[in-house]
């Protein structure tokens, strides 16, 4: 293949070494497809070899970024040469992700969250101090070794305001700074060591916890401790039931997906299990990038073996040979926890060629995302794992027949999968006794913003929003509640008059809202709601993948209209601008390829309708 590499751009020794760690050393000066990287980073053959090595593009880009702090033309040339990927194609992938840099960048970078929950906790003031005392985002420190950038949600909403330190080098590191201050950020920019990593704590305790019962109780690094608290009993029970029996229990549990779409899990598993085409895949969607969402992070940090066990059960039930955890790049603690847990599971025969001596093979890789909200969409995840831009596919065909690498694929988010452990242990009908007829089991909610005790809460379906807020201590400081954003930036607003809505899928629909990914973002009377909406609009404009015109153009027009309204300079009057917002929103809902465009106006339009935002200027 004639790759047309960038003339004169050669890799440094450090960049070659970084690629060797992922791809293995080049063979006879060329490495066009005879090797691949298996779990744990070891070069191997078989499995993926028949489809080439394009799927290693994302890990290879990460290797370059983490070694020198950015992806240079020379490093990109070497990567393309080894993977036989055209440079223009690889450049398009690298520039798709926000955490990758293709322009020179210092080795020490701090990403400072400016999104919804952090704004409620002082992020704007923190950023203003950084601009005053350090310089604008992208400015370099005096010695050129550090800089900072504004960031969308980092998934640390319970610890807001938050930042993330990324240090490139031979021993690269990422560290969450949460909660943080301007002084903390300035200190690490000057080369100081960050404080200890934030601990994974729950604000809620009690015997009613199911999904969270081990978080904060077991040592997440200890397989023995996990087993002492019931770990791997579900997998042993699954082996007794057989694949068909497991699928039957999941169907009878009426477990619905917890990522937002609420699709029946058992229906999805059964469809994949029946496919004659091989291989089958299991993908765990751990790229929860919805502003205000952090429940999956808590599960992975505090109970990583549960995620692995649940994926193994899914693989056994659906005849899948290989699995991926697609993990958002801003979760370094979860990444470390999962990699350690996977190594332990392999060492103890719980992953590998003969799981528990039961005669089935299954292994898991962690595929680290790189800062793209759109990759929470299931088909965009497949594209990303395959080494492409994370752009959603048209559907049909659906993942159960044409998923990862065009093969049948089960994809569920972390919370959905961890529910399967109790389904298998209790039986499907027993699991379905909790909650309501149409919303079975318990649900995790992410409370953040102006609430006394932010964090992840687990309640039975049917609990009211009022009861959930009371569990979290309500609005602090005696201030009045202004609104609650349900479901995140793609959700909708509720008013103080809506607090008795039951937290079920059917109850949310009846109230004109959504449970979404479990976001409950509380806003007190001090929040400037019009400016808050402009941040939501900016988020969708920035995160649109640009593949389809309704979303690519609509998110821009939506933000522009809101900016004019907030500035007090509506074009043709407030009523006309609001009509434009509604028209653009309808167009995006009707014609966008995926859920990002289809829901990009949901929260904004609900605020206009329910909270009378901009009502003072209506004609």
Q: What angle do CA 395, 414, 539 make, to 5 degrees?
A: 65
Strand order in the sheet with 519-524: 455-460, 442-449, 519-524, 481-486, 492-494
What is the reported pLDDT for 5? 82
Pairing of strands 146-151, 281-286: unpaired
Q: Find the helix packing angle between 87-94 and 57-68, rounded to 10°.
A: 70
User: Given its phi and psi angles, is residue 153 left (phi above 0), alpha (psi -120 to 50 degrees) or beta?
Assistant: beta
Residues of the chain with pLDDT under 70: 1-2, 27-51, 616-619
Tell me the two tokens of residue 193: 């060591």
pLDDT of residue 353: 97
DSSP state letter for 477: G
pLDDT of residue 87: 94
pTM of the model: 0.94
pLDDT of res. 27:
66
Look at residue 6 in the predicted model and tell me its pLDDT: 80
Phi-psi region of 343 (alpha: psi -120 to 50; beta: other; left: phi over 0): alpha
Structure-token match 């569920």, residue found: 412
Q: Do the beta carbons of residue 110 and residue 443 sit within 8 Å? A: no
Q: Which residues contact 272 (CB under 8 A, 6 or more apart)?
A: 280, 318, 319, 320, 400, 408, 409, 410
Q: Degrees (nearest 5) of the Cα angle 55, 60, 63?
A: 150
């Amino acid at each position: 293949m004639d790759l047309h590499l960038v003339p004169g751009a050669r890799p440094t020794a450090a960049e070659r070494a970084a690629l060797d760690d992922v791809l293995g050393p080049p063979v006879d000066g060329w490495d066009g497809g005879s090797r691949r990287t298996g779990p744990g980073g070891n070069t191997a053959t078989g499995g993926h070899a028949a489809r080439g090595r394009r799927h290693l593009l994302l890990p290879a880009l990460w290797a370059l970024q983490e070694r020198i702090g950015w992806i240079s033309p020379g490093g990109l040339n070497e990567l393309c040469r080894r993977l036989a990927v055209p440079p223009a194609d690889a450049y398009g992938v690298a520039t798709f992700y926000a955490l990758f840099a293709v322009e020179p960048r210092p080795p020490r970078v701090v990403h400072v969250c400016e999104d919804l929950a952090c704004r409620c906790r002082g992020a704007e003031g923190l950023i203003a101090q950084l601009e005053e005392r350090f310089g604008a985002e992208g400015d370099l420190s005096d010695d050129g070794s550090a800089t900072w950038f504004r960031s969308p949600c980092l998934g640390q909403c319970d610890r807001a305001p938050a930042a993330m330190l990324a240090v490139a080098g031979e021993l690269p590191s990422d560290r969450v700074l949460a909660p943080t201050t301007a002084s903390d950020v300035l200190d690490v920019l000057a080369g100081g060591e960050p404080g200890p990593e934030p601990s994974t704590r729950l604000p809620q305790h009690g015997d009613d916890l199911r999904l969270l019962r081990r978080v904060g109780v077991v040592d997440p690094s200890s397989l023995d401790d996990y087993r002492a608290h019931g770990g791997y009993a579900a997998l042993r029970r699954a082996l007794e039931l057989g694949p068909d029996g497991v699928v039957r229990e999941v169907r009878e549990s009426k477990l619905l997906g917890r990522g937002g779409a609420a699709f029946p899990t058992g229906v999805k598993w059964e469809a994949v299990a029946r496919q004659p085409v091989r291989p089958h895949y299991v993908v765990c969607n751990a790229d929860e990038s919805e502003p205000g969402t952090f429940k999956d992070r808590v599960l992975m940090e505090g109970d990583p073996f549960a995620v692995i066990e649940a994926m193994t059960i899914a693989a056994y039930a659906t005849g899948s040979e290989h699995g991926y955890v697609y993990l958002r790049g801003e979760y370094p603690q979860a990444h470390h926890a999962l990699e350690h847990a996977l190594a332990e599971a392999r060492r103890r025969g719980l992953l590998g060629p003969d799981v528990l001596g039961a005669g089935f093979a299954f292994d898991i890789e962690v595929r680290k995302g790189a800062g793209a909200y759109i990759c929470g969409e299931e088909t965009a995840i497949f594209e990303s794992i395959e080494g492409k831009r994370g752009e959603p596919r048209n559907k049909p065909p659906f993942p159960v027949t044409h998923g990862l690498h065009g093969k049948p694929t089960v994809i569920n988010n972390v919370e959905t999968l961890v529910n399967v452990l109790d389904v298998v242990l209790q039986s499907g009908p027993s699991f379905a006794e909790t909650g309501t007829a149409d919303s079975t089991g318990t649900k995790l909610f992410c409370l953040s913003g102006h609430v006394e005790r932010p964090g992840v809460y687990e309640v039975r379906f049917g609990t009211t929003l009022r009861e959930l807020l009371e569990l979290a201590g309500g609005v602090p400081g005696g201030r009045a509640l202004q609104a609650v954003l349900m479901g995140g930036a793609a959700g909708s607003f509720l008013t103080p008059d809506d607090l008795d809505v039951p937290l079920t899928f059917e109850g949310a629909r009846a109230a004109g809202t959504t449970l979404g990914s479990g976001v409950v973002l509380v806003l007190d009377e001090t929040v400037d709601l019009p400016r808050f909406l402009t941040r939501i609009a900016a988020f969708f404009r920035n995160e649109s993948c640009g593949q389809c015109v309704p979303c690519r153009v609509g998110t821009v027009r939506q933000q522009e209209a809101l900016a004019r309204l907030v500035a007090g300079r509506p074009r043709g009057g407030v009523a006309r601008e609001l009509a434009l917002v509604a028209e653009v929103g309808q167009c995006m809902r009707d014609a966008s390829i995926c859920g990002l465009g289809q829901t990009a106006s949901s929260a904004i339009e609900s605020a206009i309708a329910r909270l009378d935002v901009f009502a003072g200027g209506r004609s």
